[in-house]
Amino acid sequence: MSNQSLYRYLDSSQKIQLDPEGYLVKQDQWSDEIAQLLAEDEGLALTEKHWEIIHLVRDFYSQYEMAPAMRPLVKATKQALGDEKGNSIYLMTLFPGSPPKRIARIAGLPKPTNCL
């Protein structure tokens, strides 16, 4: 049995592969347009507040070569955007469920290592 059957596609042209958990297979395919499609797939409509967190997480990944789990995500958000936005309640309001996993998926990054 081929591993290909475990993947699904984000787009109708079948060029954007997602792994079984919904993360991009090829991170270099990420763009703002792909993020919009990924967010729609998650049932989210992205606002400017979402985008500032997505770009913050992408910057975090560029610096540390890993997607942040919840504690580092809250800390990085607090440092970059202040106390009002740097807390788990704010992040869960924007990205319900597991913010680190949802943000990483939409940001085109791998699953955070400490997330189940």
Active-site residues, by number, are 115
CB 105, CB 112: distance < 8 Å: no
Angle between helices 99-106 and 48-64 (to 10 degrees): 90
Question: Which pair of structure tokens corresponds to residue 61?
Answer: 């990944």
Question: Which pair of structure tokens corresponds to residue 63?
Answer: 């610096």
Question: Which pair of structure tokens corresponds to residue 78?
Answer: 């607090």
